[in-house]
Structure 1
Amino acid sequence: MDFGVEGGDEAFREEARTWLRTHLVGDFAAAARQGGPGSEHEATDVRRAWERELGAAGWIGMGWDRTHGAYGNRAASLTQQVVWAEEYARAGAPGRVGHIGENLLAPTLLAYGTPAQRDRFLPPVARGEELWCQGYSEPGAGSDLAAVRTSAVRDGGEGGDGGGTYRVTGQKIWTSLAREADWCFVLARTEAGSRRHRGLSFLLVPMDQPGRIEVRPIRQMSGTAEFNEVFFDGALARAEHRVGEEGEGWRVAMGLLAVERGVSTLVQQIGFAAELAEVVGLALRTGAAGADAVLREQLVRSWAELHAMRCNALRTLGRNGDGNGRAGHGSGKGHGHAHGPGTEAEGAPSVAKLLWGGWHQRLGELAVRVRGAAGALGPYDWTPERPYALDPLQRLFLFTRADTLYGGSDEVQRNIIAQRVLGLPKEPRA
């Protein structure tokens, strides 16, 4: 398989490089490489302004299905999307605060939303003006998403799309960017007494509801607090902002998860490459690579595995035909509806998660091993206002402890592959 880009795409690459070079200046340059996984709390005001800068130039939403029209963004082929992702990461541009709206909400609305919903919500995302967060996981309903207990009771406008509102009550957890987001898409139980994947609805909820929505940061062992708990106390959501039919939220939610890992996987891997280069550089400077043959072999293996992950990601994108994995929309397989083996594409997101989660966690362990005893020491320039400071490699180690858990644990990913792709029976429940 040819993993190269087409000849005409090199002109697109030069355009991307030139735009990034001329716009990544001032405050934007100062925020370079800030806001990635484990540091999403950094420079949020500057990164929000950067989002608008990207939107004004049409760089947001290039991979959206344009069947329903354009929304202020430029069109781009799959290989051009890959080129943009690569150049963005190589430029060290700030971590995106709009990626949830661009890469999760937008493809979901294009697949399941009404024309009015697409016209209302996609242009502000494309302009970088409205930010989104995801209201899925709950205490007791993380990897087992069908166990959600957040409820939504409808007031008025019963039946069909006849208006009215929902009052949402419950708790969501591990919500990235909840403090910055303008909107949250929430999976809630709209049928009293329903269980598992039945009776759920997919609601678009505005976050600016003082007294009805409370966001509490969750401080982690890394000292950062980029994740949040979100408490809904009768928060209002308009019935016309329900995506899909009432009680059909599980189908929409699974369609969203099918697009969760697309071209953005390649951006992630370029970030991984930069981290690996830092660990290798440290091993060479300290002499650890020359003195420890086992460590040297592990560093080489990490490089080879990262290259294999890139090839797998490109192969998956090429097979699906776009950057959003639309082939998986609406299948519902592996979540109570499987009736035999599925396609390889259905398990591709889970395979990718298994690959990078374990790889990144092992890289964090290598970072500590290369540092030796010094890796356990904090910086000497601490202050009472900043008593808990970590260097990048220490933070890498601590944050990667969660890589095999968040976004679906390794055990859940293996179950998905077994059920969706291999057609194996579901595990019995106690």
Structure 2
Amino acid sequence: MKLSEFLRDLEPSGGENHNSSNLQVILKILRKINSSLVLEEVLELVLKNAISLTSCERGFIVLKNDKGELENVLCLDSGGNRLSKDLFNISRSVVNDVFITGQARFIESALNNPSKTSESIVNLELQTIMCAALLTEGENIGVIYVDSKSLNKIESKGITETFEILASQAGIAINNALMHGRQFKANEELKKAYNELETAKREAEKLELLKNHFLTQMSHEIRTPFNIMQSGLYLLKSQISSVQNPEVKELFSMFEDGSNRIIRTVDKIMEMAKIRSGNYELLTETIQLEEEILQNIISKYEDKAKSKGIYLMYQRTTDNNSVKCDRFMIYQIFQEIIENAIKFTERGAVRIKQYKDSKDRLCVSIQDTGIGIDPEYLQNLFQQFSQEDTGPTRKYEGSGLALALVKKYSELNNLSIKVISEKNHGSTFTVIFK
């Protein structure tokens, strides 16, 4: 019986005092079992009150586990003491019947008719048994069971109704405690996972700092002797400037190109390490993009483009090219993109265009007629040490750091870069000033 049904049945009659007394008992018990959300406490409160209410010798709470099987979770005697597991002997036939049907069972004088009594009841010498389902929102989560070897004359309606109400409310209280326990466990696991994640994050950050420090130190150690070598090479070259042997000139040119390439790679490593470690200071100033950046880069690479038979062209459709940025970073962005355009173009042209888009944003596009980029590789284009052709026989050299730095520099200066490319049909990089 549910509490709502019991309250509905209350009516002024000769049994009014008796009903009111039962109601007071029920409300008192409910206040107790709903005073906690700790499962162990709720189970003990429920079972102690059930034993006290029925004057039985023992009480059991049997709950459905995660596998859907019934499992004894608590057993108390009439004194409220926990019984050992070897004393967890109950009438399984009664428990299973109540759990399956959801209907309470009340048995008196069980041994007076052995032929109609289950074997477990006879073996346990039980006289009084009361068992009710623990229901919550239509789901049976277990049963509450009390028994006694002595004969307790159950006040048929009063005690049985109260026991059923206790069971129905106990089901709700126990389910609430179970959900609270699961939530608490989930929160603890989440907290543990978060702490582990934070620890891993701190370790990763520490390793990143160590890596960047190592790269900075190693780059410095490499750059210093190469600077000395370059100075010596320059002096040596000036001493033999009168030598007309083309092989010697080509050899010096190879030395210069090789050492310059190493120095630039080292510089890129140092720049990336600075940015990733947060040690880079952004120096913003207002500059004229065309006069102070683009023209210088175009002049620098004109001869290289000409030597490859490539047209290096510049066009502008706007006179307003004033931007606020870090001069060094902006120079590096355009230098790397223009240098790549020339490097990966064997014939045709590299066109640089400065214009305003439909949103009145200053844009610079660098379009080439080179080898293009595979669409599947575009998503990896700006990753560190990433190269489309990584084979040992690759045609084009490079560290894979240039475009990664371009991306970092763009983010620091609040720029966006749009890339359109088709394999074997060239690429267009558009730098957009927001």
TM-score, with normalisation over the residues of structure 1? 0.22
Larger Rg: 2
TM-score, with normalisation over the residues of structure 2? 0.22
Bigger proportion of residues as strand: 2
Q: Higher RCO, 1 or 2 (CA under 8 Å, sep at least 6)? A: 1
